[in-house]
Chain A
Amino acid sequence: MEYNLIQKEIDLFRERYKTRRIIEDILIKEGYEYFEPSSFDDMDRFLPLMNTMGQASMVKLIASDSRILVLNPDNTTSIISRIVPLWQDGMKFRLFYSATASRSDRELGISEIRQVGVERLGESDFKTDEEIILLALDILSQFSIDFVMEVSNSKFVDGLLGETDLSPVEKRRLRGLLYRKDKQGISDFAKAAPLPEPISNSLLSILNLQGDAEDITAQGERFCINQKMADSIREITALKKFLDAYGYLDNVSFDLSMITELDYYDGLMFKGYYPGYFKDALSGGRYDSFTEDYGKKIPAIGFSLDLDQVTNLRIKQKEKEGEDFGLPQNRRSQR
């Protein structure tokens, strides 16, 4: 949002500050500690991101000694790249940040993405996955009960592609087609590769594996050809039961063919949307393998929230309901 009046600008800052405080209070209460990603770093630090994000979307700076620096393009990567090299076995961290990531954008020039997010490091059990997604749902529902959370498990697609002998470049192309849910493209790719029939059939069918968890796990089971895929179904079944117990099932839509922009998740992944906004408000997942690019594989899971979108949502609610708009019940404090 941009305003031409100082008071409007101050109003926006106040609302953004309040929004941030609401989220931070929840996180601090849950035992998360504050961590500050650096605002810029050596470009080398973000090499593992290049494949997915593309170098063009990083905002570069040249230091006086001619080193190329970039403005922090992704908070998670910035945090991981600082922690993993110093990691010792047995460590456990619950961290949160409130920071700005910068991206170079063809339309906007440079865009600032204000995020509040959490990273949970050192815990690989499924209980941690459950706690993280519940925290994400609680935060989303804090601002509006009208939202959808897309949930998936990357092991399903990874397991399936693991059965092919495609090169990394071809795999990336195929993932790009899945990302766009391009059925025709996948079918053309499968014919040209060529992929064995059972695999190409599964690839085309997984685009339909979405919606109700029971439906998709029943159908998904038929396509499982290895342990990894079976694990993904087992985890989704367990997650469904867990979310049901907390009354969130109506907000959740499962999608086994989900691929995310920064394709670094392995296991649980999720994206939250509010109606009327054309970008996800929240996204996250488990990304153990991504930490390996920084020297050591450590259990890691987290999510980030688009602070500007949530602030905008609050301002709109305020305009609609007057100054004393009531926040939906905080489910977390009720428990």
Chain B
Amino acid sequence: MRILDYLKIAVAKGRTEKGAAEIFKKAGFGKYVDPDSRKLTSFDDEEKIAYIYVKPVDVTTYVQKGAADLGVIGKDMLLENSSSLYELLDLGFGKCKMVVAGKENKYPRGKEETLRVATSYPNIARSYFGHRNQKIISVNLGGSVELAPLLGLSDVIVDLVETGRTLRANDLYVIEEICSVSTKLVSNRVSYRFKHQRVMELVKRLEEVCS
């Protein structure tokens, strides 16, 4: 099978995929990458790279378990999955912030009370509030978390904010910033060692167009 000696890159579908296609093309890769195609794989036979398109939540699994050598994924997913992957390069796009937001720009409850937090990132929320010694109940949602405080499902939300437009449209305010997030090129530890030269060549070429 030709894929065996290819460098396999798992790319998060959606916005990340488009950003990645742009950068890879700029660096001279990805002639065969078509973000509008519905195919789940594409092959670059010249550079011997196989691109695999998977759901953002699955990228770390594919890379961690060696189904892919490298991955293109947001830092939010790496934090949420407490990944131990190598973060070889910041690809410089998909920049946003992980924030705590609520109906006012301050916490609605004191530290002595349990805070209800709606989020799609329960692990990030638990770890952040854990460090602050704030007890929380995490309300785990698949999306549109902005609705939760409006309907009384939670006191605050923990979510990604890019421009802040969605927050403003729903009358929500940033209470605190947890961390900055952007898209990363990651690698598992074994591919990094066994395919070191090819991985580093790719990193170098991408690095030149990222900075």
B203 to chain A, nearest CB (A): 9
Cβ-based interface call for A148 (8 A): yes
Residues in B with CB closer than 8 Å to A183 are 87-90
Residues in B with CB closer than 8 Å to A253 are 193, 196
Contact code string B163-189 (vs A, CB < 8 Å = 1, else 0): 000000000000000000000000011
Cross-chain pair count, CB within 8 angstroms: 44
Residues in B with CB closer than 8 Å to A273 are 189-190, 193-194
Compute how far the CA of A278 lies from the CA of B88 in the bound complex, rounded to whole angstroms: 18
Residues in A with CB closer than 8 Å to B64 are 278
Cβ-based interface call for B38 (8 A): no
Q: Given A183-B89, A184-B90, A275 and B84 touching (CB < 8 A)?
A: no
Q: Given A278-B64, A278-B65, A278-B66, A181 and B86 touching (CB < 8 A)?
A: yes
List 7 additional contacts besides A180-B85, A183-B87, A184-B87; criterion CB under 8 Å.
A148-B194, A180-B83, A182-B87, A253-B196, A273-B194, A277-B66, A280-B189
A204 to chain B, nearest CB (A): 13
Write the chain A residue with the least CB distance to B207: A183
Looking at the complex, which one of A179, A180, A210, A277 makes contact with B190 (CB distance below 8 Å)?
A277
B139 to chain A, nearest CB (A): 19
Asked if A278 contacts B86 (CB within 8 A), the reply is no
The residues in B between 52 and 104 inclusive whose CB is less than 8 angstroms from any CB of A are 64-66, 83-90
Contact code string B109-145 (vs A, CB < 8 Å = 1, else 0): 0000000000000000000000000000000000000
Write the chain A residue with the least CB distance to B82: A106
Asked if B88 contacts A181 (CB within 8 A), the reply is yes
Looking at the complex, which one of B83, B90, B190, B196 makes contact with A278 (CB distance below 8 Å)?
B190
Interface size bracket, B side: 10 to 19
Write the chain A residue with the least CB distance to B65: A278
Compute how far the CA of A180 lies from the CA of B83 in the bound complex, rounded to whole angstroms: 9
Cβ-based interface call for A288 (8 A): no
Secondary structure dominating the interface of B: mixed
Residues in A with CB closer than 8 Å to B86 are 180-182
B122 to chain A, nearest CB (A): 11
Cβ-based interface call for A299 (8 A): no
A123 to chain B, nearest CB (A): 30
A-B contacts, 6 of them at CB < 8 A, read A150-B193, A179-B84, A184-B87, A185-B87, A261-B84, A278-B188
A35 to chain B, nearest CB (A): 30
Residues in A with CB closer than 8 Å to B193 are 148, 150, 253, 273
The residues in B between 141 and 169 inclusive whose CB is less than 8 angstroms from any CB of A are none
Residues in B with CB closer than 8 Å to A275 are 190, 194
Counting chain A CB atoms within 10 Å of each CB, the highest count among B90, B188, B193, B196 belongs to B193
A50 to chain B, nearest CB (A): 14
Write the chain B residue with the least CB distance to A273: B190
